[in-house]
Chain A
Amino acid sequence: EAGVAQSPRYKIIEKRQSVAFWCNPISGHATLYWYQQILGQGPKLLIQFQNNGVVDDSQLPKDRFSAERLKGVDSTLKIQPAKLEDSAVYLCASSLQEVGTEAFFGQGTRLTVV
């Protein structure tokens, strides 16, 4: 079974530039999560989708971050404009149902903002 796919693996941009990350979840998984992991910290939820709909985006900085999930499958996370403090690993995860089932993570995208 193919896992959660993310691209790119690494990205370096200058502050105020824009960047986009892509995620393809495990086939059949209705729930998709984007997490931000700053070095030395645990992952923090940015946004959670259930099929096409947003379940939780309470910690998404909406003035600069946006996310969409196309046809309930792939998802993109965009940052515009980027700040130095956005340097982190962005992790995508998926699970079968919305509550309580095992979550599977991709390899992550390491973003460095200079």
Chain B
Amino acid sequence: DGGITQSPKYLFRKEGQNVTLSCEQNLNHDAMYWYRQDPGQGLRLIYYSQIVNDFQKGDIAEGYSVSREKKESFPLTVTSAQKNPTAFYLCASSIGPRGLYEQYFGPGTRLTVT
């Protein structure tokens, strides 16, 4: 089955620790995205990547980092510099520059930092 997987579903970390969230897709999509969702808020874009070895900051990139070494994978690192890391993190992908705007989402990772 084609789709997007995110692991783990729940993640707990102590303040001051970096943590990496996994996102893998087997849809052969060029573009991948990371969003965070907070209660009562829409989805806010953290980083996106249009193609392998390239990525751009979204609207709220501070305190986050990404890499795109493989087409299938777009891991997100939440660093200790992120002031409010507790949130629901969503990864998405889309066909990309070839057209179509629809993004397909993974199941999400809920990160809790205490």
Say if A and B assemble together.
no
> Which residues from chain B sit less than 8 Å from chain A, CB to CB?
none
> Which residues from chain A sit less than 8 Å from chain B, CB to CB?
none
